C-alpha cells in the first residue's frame, strides 16, 4: 500500500521538496481514517483502510463498482448505522475525536458532516421548505433569517438564479440536475464542515454533470469534500487527492495528479487506463 | 386426449370460474339494491325503528353505526399507527419483535364472535358497564388494531429509502424524520387502509351483539350533553347498530315487515361499504398524485 | 465556516450535546413502544381472560372435559338430567369448514390462475375489484340473503326444510371465496417468470405448465390460502347461524339442520344467566374457538416456513 507519508527528506529532489512543502502547508487533516474495516455480516466490504482526508480539498474515491466506496463514505457520517448487519472497526478521527465511538451523537455528527446521495432525493415539498426542513427542526423560526439562509445556500449551490422566482413550487418540478443542486443546497444550509458526495452526478445528463463539477470546485474554498465518482475524468478534474479502491482495499491514495499520471501501483494504472472495471 | 384440447378445456374452465364470480357479485348487488333501494326512503332513514309494528325506520341504528365507527377509529387509528411505526422503524429483528408479530397475527385471526365474547366478559360483565357504545368500540378496537398496524407498517415500508436517508443525513432525529418525512409520504396508504377498515367495522355485527347490545334507548337528538341518559352522544348507553339490526329483526322476527326493514338496511349497509371502498380508492389516488406530481 | 473554531470542542458538540438528542426522540420512541406493549397486553388479556372463564365449567362445575368434548348429548336445560356434550357442534363446525373449503378451494385457485395466467388484464381491471367488493359485503348481509333466497330454494328443491348444513356451507363458500382467491392470486403472481418461460419453451401447453410447474411451485402458498379461508369459515357466526337451523343433533345428511360452536354460542350466551352452568359451558365453547383459531395460525406459519424452501 502507498500512503502519502512523506519520504525521508534526504532522498528528495529539490522539486519534490518544493512540492511536499506546498502540500504540507495545505495539509491539515480533517478526517484521519485509521485501520477502518467495515463488515456486512461476515463480508468485509472495507479492509483496514487508512487515509488522511485534507481540509478544504476535494478527495475523490474511485474504483470499480462494489469495491466499497459507498460503504466507506457512508461510514464517515454513520449512515451505515441504518443497516443492521453492518459493523465498523478501526477509527475515524474528526476534530480529535473518534466518530465511530458508540457514545457519539450521530444526529449532531450528521449536521456537521453532510451527505448527498446518488439519486436526487428532494422532499416532496416546496423548494423553500426543502431547505428550511432541517433548520426549522433545529429551532430556527425567524422568517427573515430563514429567507436569508435559503438564498445563501441556493446561491452557493448555483441554483438561486434558476429558482428564485418559484421558491414555493414543488421541488419535484425541478429537473434532475436542479434537484441534485437543491439537495446540495439543503445540506449546505446546515453549515457542515465536511460534504460527502456519493456519485452525485452519475444519474444526471452531461450539462448538469458539468454544473455540479463547477460547483464542487467553488465549494472547496469553504468545505472539505469527499466525492465518490465512477467518472475517471471527473475525478481528475475536480479532485486534489484520489483514493483508488479495489475489493475493499485502498490500493493507492495520493495526489490526484500523481495517481493519474504516474501511479505507484500497477492495479491503479490498469484501472485508470480502462483495462478493467 | 390431445394436450391441445385439454389446454382448451382448461382455459374454458378458468373462464367459467371467472364468469361465476362476476355473476355472483352482480347477482348479490342486484338482489340487495333492487329489493332494498325501494325501501330506502327519507322516512325510513329518519324514523326510529319499531318493536312490534310495521313501518319502522333505521334512524337510531344508522346513527349508532356511525357513532361507534367514529369512536372506534378515534381509539384505533392512533394506536394502530403508532404500533405500525414501531414495527416498521423501531423494532429490531429478534425474539421480542417476533413475539409482537405473533400477537398481531393472533389478534387478526380472532373470530369476531370471540372478540365479542371477550368484550362481553370485560367491558360488560367485569366492568359492570352493561351494554355500552364504548364497550362495543373497545371490542371493535381489538378487532381493528391489527389491520391498522399492518396498513401503517406496509405504508411506511413503501416510503422510498432515499427520503428517509435524506432527512437523517441532514442531522434530524429518527422520530422527527418519521413525523415530518415518512408519515406524510405514507399518509395516502394509511388513509386508504383506514377507510377500508372503516367499511369492515361498519358492517361488523358479531362483535357487537353482546357488547353494544341489541337495543337503543329512546334518544333525543336535541340533547347534546354526552352525559345525559337520552343523549345520542352518551357513550355509556346501549346501541344497536345497523348490521346488528339486520340480524336481530331476522332472528327475533317480532315485526311483521322483517323483509322490508332488512332489505332496506342491507342496501344502506352495502352502499355504505361501497362508498367507503370507492372513497378509499379515489382519495388514495388523488393524494398520491398530489404528492408525486411536480405541479 | 468558522463554526468549528469558535464553537465548543468536538467532545461537547458530538457527545455531551443535548441539542439533538432531544426529548421528542425519547418521547416518540416511548409512545410507539407503549403501543406495541398494548398489543401484547391485549393478546395476553384475551387469552388469559377467555381461558380462565372458559375453564370454569370444568373447574367450578366439575364437568368432565372428555365427556364435554365427545358426548353427543346437549341438553343444558334438562335440570336433573342436564347433559353437556358439544360433539354435535364441533362436528357441525368442522363439517361446514371443510365442506366450504372443499368448494371454495378449486374455485378460488381457479380464479387466481385466471387472474395471473389466463387474462391478467381483465383480472386486474374487473375480477380484482369484484373480489374486493365481495370481501366488503358484511356477513349479516350474506346471512340475510342466505335466509331469504337460499333457504327457500333448498326447501323447494331438496329434502328437508331448507335450513341445513348445506345452506351454511354455501353461504360460507361465498364468504371465503374472495379470501382464498386474493391470497392465491398473490401466490401465483409472485412466481418467477422464468418458471413459465422455461416450461413453455420446452413445448408444454399453458395448462401443462400450470398443472405441472406453477401449482406445485406455489403449493405451500395455495395451501395457506385455503387454511386462511377455513379459519374464516370456522370463526364465522351470524351468517351461518341465520341459515343452519341451530339444532342440537348431529346431522344425518347435508340437508339436515345442524349447529356449530359459533352459532350455539351466539344464540345462547345472551339468554343464559351469567355464571350459571349452562352459561359456563358456552364460555368453554368460546375457549375452544380461541384455541382452534390459534391452531390455524400455527398451520399457516408452518406452511409459510415451507414456502422459502
Ligand atoms: N446493505 C448491504 N448489506 C450487505 N452488503 C452490502 C450492503 N451494501 C453493500 N454491500 C456489499 O458491500 C460491498 C461494497 O459495496 P458498496 O460500498 O456499495 O460499493 P461501491 O459503492 O463501491 O459500488 C459489496 O460487495 C456489496 O455487496
Ligand atoms: Mg456506490
Q: Can you list the positions of beta strands (E) in C9-84?
A: 74-75, 83-84
Secondary structure letter of residue C80 according to DSSP:
G
For B40-292, CATH number out of 1.10.760.10, 1.10.3720.10, 3.30.465.10, 3.30.70.20 equals 1.10.3720.10
For A3-23+57-77+108-272, CATH number out of 3.10.20.30, 3.30.200.20, 3.40.190.10, 3.40.50.300 equals 3.40.50.300
Query: Does residue C75 form part of some domain?
Result: no
Query: Does residue C44 form part of some domain?
Result: no
Secondary structure letter of residue A60 according to DSSP:
E
β A224-228/A58-62 pair status: parallel
Backbone torsions φ then ψ of B203, nearest 5 degrees = -90, 0
- The answer to whether the beta carbons of residues B164 and A79 sit under 8 Å apart is no
Query: For residue range A86-123, what is the model confidence (pLDDT) as tens digits?
Result: 999 999 999 999 999 998 989 889 999 999 999 999 99
**pLDDT for the residue numbered A139:** 84
**Ligand 1 pocket, A70 CB below 6 A?**
yes
Query: For residue range A171-208, what is the model confidence (pLDDT) as tens digits?
Result: 999 999 999 999 999 999 999 999 999 999 888 888 88
What residue in B sits closest to C44 (Cα-Cα)?
A: B103
- Measured between beta carbons, the chain C residues lying within 8 angstroms of A138 are 19-20
Which chains would you list as touching A if contact means 3+ CB atom pairs under 8 Å? B, C
Secondary structure letter of residue C110 according to DSSP:
H
The ipTM is 0.92
Query: For residue range B61-94, what is the model confidence (pLDDT) as tens digits?
Result: 999 999 999 999 999 999 999 999 999 999 988 8
- The answer to whether the beta carbons of residues C139 and B205 sit under 8 Å apart is yes
- The answer to whether the beta carbons of residues C93 and C261 sit under 8 Å apart is yes
User: Is the CB of B173 less than 8 angstroms away from the CB of C20?
Assistant: yes
Residue % of chain A over a pLDDT of 90: 75
A69 Cα to the center of ligand 2, angstroms = 6
User: Is the CB of B291 less than 8 angstroms away from the CB of A187?
Assistant: no
Least confident among A52-61, B265-274, C47-56, C298-307: C298-307
- Measured between beta carbons, the chain A residues lying within 8 angstroms of C14 are 95, 97, 99, 104-105, 108-109, 112
B134 Cα to the center of ligand 1, angstroms = 53
The kind and range of the H/E element at A88 are strand A86-94
Query: Does residue C6 form part of some domain?
Result: no
In the numeric block, which cell numbers belong to residue B131?
351494554
In the numeric block, which cell numbers belong to residue B263?
332489505
State pTM to two decimals.
Answer: 0.89
What 3-state class would DSSP assign to B101? Answer: helix
CA neighbor of C200 nearest in space, from C213, C187, C189: C213
Query: Does residue C60 form part of some domain?
Result: no
| Rounded Cα gap, residues B254 and B251, in angstroms | 9
| Rounded Cα gap, residues B160 and B166, in angstroms | 10
- The answer to whether the beta carbons of residues A209 and A200 sit under 8 Å apart is no
Q: How does residue A9 score in pLDDT terms, banded at 50, 70 and 90?
A: very low
In the numeric block, which cell numbers belong to residue C287?
375457549
CATH of the domain at C203: 1.10.3720.10
**Ligand 1 pocket, A9 CB below 6 A?**
no
Secondary structure letter of residue A250 according to DSSP:
E
**Ligand 1 pocket, A67 CB below 6 A?**
yes
- Largest Cα–Cα separation, chain A: 62
| Rounded Cα gap, residues C305 and B247, in angstroms | 40
SS3 content of chain A, % helix, strand, coil (to 5): 40, 25, 35
Nearest 5°: the CA angle C6, C8, C9 is 115
Mutation for B interface: A123, A125, A182, most B CBs within 10 A: A123
User: Is the CB of B166 less than 8 angstroms away from the CB of A82?
Assistant: no
Shortest Cα distance, chain C CAs vs residue A215, angstroms: 17
Alpha helices in C114-250 (DSSP H): 120-122, 128-136, 139-145, 151-157, 165-189, 193-201, 206-208, 215-235, 238-244
Question: CA Rg, chain B, in Å?
Answer: 23
Count of structural domains within chain C: 1
Mean pLDDT of A235-259: 94
Shortest Cα distance, chain B CAs vs residue C75, angstroms: 22
Asked whether residue A8 carries a pLDDT value surpassing 50, the answer given is no
Mutation for A interface: C10, C22, C25, most A CBs within 10 A: C10
- The answer to whether the beta carbons of residues C185 and C191 sit under 8 Å apart is no
User: Is the CB of C3 less than 8 angstroms away from the CB of A193?
Assistant: yes
**Ligand 1 pocket, A116 CB below 6 A?**
no
Mean pLDDT of A220-249: 93
**pLDDT for the residue numbered C16:** 78
Asked whether residue B232 carries a pLDDT value surpassing 80, the answer given is yes
Asked whether residue B295 carries a pLDDT value surpassing 50, the answer given is no
Instruction: Say yes or no: B75 contacts chain C, CB-CB below 8 A.
Output: no
Query: Does residue C246 form part of some domain?
Result: yes
Atom from ligand 1 closest to the CA of residue A41: 4
Query: Does residue C127 form part of some domain?
Result: yes
Query: For residue range C259-290, what is the model confidence (pLDDT) as tens digits?
Result: 999 999 999 998 899 989 999 999 999 999 99
Query: For residue range C201-238, what is the model confidence (pLDDT) as tens digits?
Result: 998 899 999 999 999 999 999 999 999 999 999 999 99
| Rounded Cα gap, residues C87 and C67, in angstroms | 9
Q: How does residue A4 score in pLDDT terms, banded at 50, 70 and 90?
A: very low
Query: Does residue C8 form part of some domain?
Result: no
A44 Cα to the center of ligand 1, angstroms = 9
| Rounded Cα gap, residues A105 and C151, in angstroms | 69
Instruction: Say yes or no: A80 contacts chain B, CB-CB below 8 A.
Output: no
Query: For residue range B149-194, what is the model confidence (pLDDT) as tens digits?
Result: 999 999 999 999 999 999 999 999 999 999 999 999 999 899 999 9
Mean pLDDT of A219-235: 92
Asked whether residue A277 carries a pLDDT value surpassing 60, the answer given is no
| Rounded Cα gap, residues C192 and C194, in angstroms | 5
List, run by run, the mean pLDDT of 10-residue segments along chain C (309 residues): 56 73 83 96 96 95 93 86 91 97 96 93 90 92 96 94 96 96 94 91 90 93 96 96 94 94 94 91 96 94 76
Q: Which domain holds residue C129?
A: 87-305
CB-defined contacts A:B, below 8 A: 76
Amino acid at each position: 500500500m502507498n500512503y502519502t507519508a512523506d519520504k525521508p527528506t534526504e532522498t528528495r529532489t529539490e522539486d519534490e521538496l518544493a512540492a511536499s512543502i506546498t502540500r504540507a502547508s495545505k495539509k491539515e487533516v480533517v478526517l484521519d481514517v485509521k485501520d477502518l474495516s467495515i463488515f456486512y455480516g461476515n463480508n468485509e466490504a472495507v479492509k483496514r483502510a487508512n487515509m488522511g482526508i485534507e481540509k478544504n480539498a476535494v478527495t475523490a474515491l474511485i474504483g470499480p463498482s462494489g469495491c466499497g466506496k459507498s460503504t466507506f463514505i457512508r461510514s464517515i457520517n454513520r449512515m451505515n448505522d441504518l443497516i443492521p448487519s453492518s459493523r465498523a472497526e478501526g477509527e475515524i478521527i474528526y476534530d480529535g475525536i473518534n466518530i465511530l465511538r458508540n457514545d457519539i451523537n450521530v444526529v449532531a455528527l450528521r449536521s456537521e458532516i453532510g451527505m448527498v446521495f446518488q439519486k436526487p432525493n428532494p422532499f416532496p415539498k416546496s423548494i423553500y421548505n426543502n431547505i428550511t426542513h432541517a433548520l426549522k427542526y433545529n429551532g430556527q423560526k425567524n422568517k427573515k433569517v430563514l429567507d436569508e439562509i435559503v438564498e445563501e445556500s441556493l446561491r452557493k449551490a448555483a441554483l438561486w438564479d434558476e429558482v428564485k422566482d418559484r421558491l414555493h413550487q414543488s421541488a419535484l418540478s425541478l429537473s434532475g440536475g436542479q434537484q441534485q443542486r437543491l439537495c446540495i443546497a439543503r445540506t449546505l444550509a446546515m453549515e457542515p464542515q465536511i460534504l460527502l458526495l456519493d456519485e452525485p452526478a452519475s444519474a444526471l445528463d452531461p450539462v448538469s454533470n458539468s454544473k455540479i463539477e463547477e460547483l464542487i470546485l467553488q465549494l472547496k474554498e469553504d468545505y472539505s469534500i469527499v466525492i465518490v465518482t465512477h467518472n475517471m475524468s471527473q475525478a481528475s478534474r475536480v479532485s486534489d487527492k484520489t483514493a483508488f479502491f479495489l475489493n475493499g482495499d485502498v490500493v493507492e491514495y495520493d495526489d490526484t495528479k500523481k495517481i493519474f499520471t504516474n501511479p505507484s501501483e500497477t492495479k491503479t494504472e490498469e484501472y485508470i487506463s480502462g483495462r478493467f472495471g | 386426449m390431445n394436450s391441445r384440447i385439454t389446454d382448451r378445456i382448461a382455459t374454458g374452465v378458468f373462464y367459467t370460474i371467472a364468469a361465476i364470480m362476476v355473476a355472483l357479485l352482480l347477482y348479490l348487488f342486484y338482489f340487495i339494491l333492487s329489493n332494498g333501494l325501494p325501501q330506502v326512503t327519507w322516512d325510513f332513514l329518519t324514523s326510529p325503528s319499531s318493536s312490534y309494528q310495521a313501518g319502522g325506520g333505521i334512524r337510531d341504528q344508522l346513527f349508532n353505526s356511525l357513532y361507534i365507527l367514529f369512536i372506534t377509529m378515534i381509539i384505533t387509528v392512533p394506536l394502530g399507527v403508532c404500533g405500525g411505526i414501531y414495527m416498521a422503524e423501531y423494532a429490531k429483528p429478534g425474539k421480542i419483535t417476533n413475539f409482537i408479530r405473533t400477537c398481531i397475527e393472533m389478534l387478526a385471526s380472532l373470530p369476531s364472535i370471540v372478540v365479542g365474547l371477550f368484550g362481553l366478559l370485560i367491558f360488560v360483565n367485569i366492568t359492570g358497564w352493561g351494554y355500552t357504545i364504548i364497550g362495543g368500540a373497545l371490542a371493535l378496537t381489538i378487532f381493528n388494531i391489527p389491520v391498522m398496524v399492518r396498513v401503517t407498517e406496509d405504508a411506511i415500508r413503501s416510503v422510498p429509502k432515499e427520503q428517509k436517508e435524506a432527512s437523517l443525513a441532514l442531522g434530524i432525529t429518527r422520530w422527527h424524520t418519521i413525523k415530518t418525512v415518512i408519515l406524510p409520504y405514507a399518509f395516502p396508504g394509511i388513509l386508504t387502509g383506514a377507510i377500508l377498515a372503516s367499511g369492515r367495522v361498519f358492517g361488523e355485527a358479531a362483535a357487537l351483539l353482546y357488547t353494544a347490545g341489541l337495543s337503543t334507548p329512546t334518544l333525543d337528538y336535541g340533547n347534546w350533553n354526552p352525559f345525559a341518559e337520552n343523549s345520542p352522544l352518551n357513550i355509556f348507553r346501549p346501541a344497536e347498530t345497523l348490521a346488528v339490526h339486520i340480524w336481530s329483526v331476522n332472528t327475533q322476527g317480532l315485526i311483521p315487515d322483517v323483509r322490508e326493514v332488512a332489505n332496506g338496511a342491507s342496501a344502506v349497509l352495502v352502499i355504505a361499504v361501497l362508498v367507503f371502498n370507492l372513497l378509499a380508492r379515489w382519495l388514495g389516488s388523488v393524494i398520491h398524485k398530489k404528492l408525486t406530481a411536480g405541479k | 465556516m468558522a463554526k468549528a473554531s469558535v464553537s465548543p470542542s468536538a467532545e461537547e458538540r458530538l457527545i455531551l450535546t443535548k441539542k439533538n438528542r432531544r426529548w421528542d426522540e425519547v418521547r416518540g420512541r416511548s409512545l410507539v413502544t407503549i403501543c406495541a406493549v398494548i398489543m401484547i397486553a391485549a393478546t395476553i388479556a384475551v387469552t388469559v381472560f377467555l381461558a380462565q372463564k372458559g375453564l370454569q365449567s370444568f373447574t367450578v362445575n366439575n364437568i368432565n372435559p372428555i365427556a364435554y368434548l365427545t358426548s353427543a348429548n346437549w341438553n343444558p336445560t334438562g335440570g336433573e338430567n342436564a347433559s353437556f356434550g358439544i360433539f354435535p357442534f364441533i362436528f357441525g363446525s368442522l363439517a361446514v369448514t371443510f365442506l366450504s373449503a372443499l368448494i371454495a378451494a378449486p374455485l378460488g385457485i381457479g380464479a387466481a390462475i385466471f387472474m395471473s395466467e389466463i387474462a391478467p388484464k381483465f383480472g386486474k381491471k374487473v375480477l380484482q375489484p369484484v373480489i374486493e367488493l365481495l370481501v366488503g359485503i358484511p356477513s349479516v348481509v350474506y346471512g340475510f340473503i342466505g335466509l331469504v333466497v337460499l333457504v327457500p330454494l333448498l326447501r323447494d328443491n331438496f329434502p328437508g326444510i331448507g335450513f341445513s348444513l348445506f345452506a351454511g356451507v354455501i353461504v360460507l363458500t361465498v364468504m371465503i371465496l374472495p379470501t382464498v382467491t386474493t391470497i392465491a392470486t398473490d401466490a401465483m403472481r409472485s412466481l418467477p417468470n422464468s418458471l413459465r418461460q422455461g416450461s413453455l419453451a420446452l413445448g408444454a401447453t399453458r395448462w401443462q405448465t400450470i398443472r405441472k410447474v406453477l401449482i406445485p411451485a406455489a403449493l405451500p402458498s395455495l395451501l395457506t390460502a385455503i387454511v386462511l379461508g377455513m379459519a374464516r369459515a370456522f370463526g364465522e357466526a351470524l351468517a351461518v347461524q341465520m341459515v343452519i337451523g341451530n339444532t342440537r343433533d348431529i346431522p344425518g345428511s347435508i340437508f339436515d339442520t345442524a349447529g356449530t360452536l359459533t352459532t350455539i354460542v351466539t344464540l345462547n350466551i345472551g339468554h343464559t344467566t351469567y355464571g350459571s352452568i349452562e352459561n359456563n359451558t358456552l364460555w368453554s365453547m368460546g375457549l375452544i374457538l380461541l384455541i382452534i383459531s390459534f391452531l390455524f395460525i400455527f398451520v399457516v406459519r408452518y406452511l409459510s416456513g415451507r414456502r422459502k424452501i
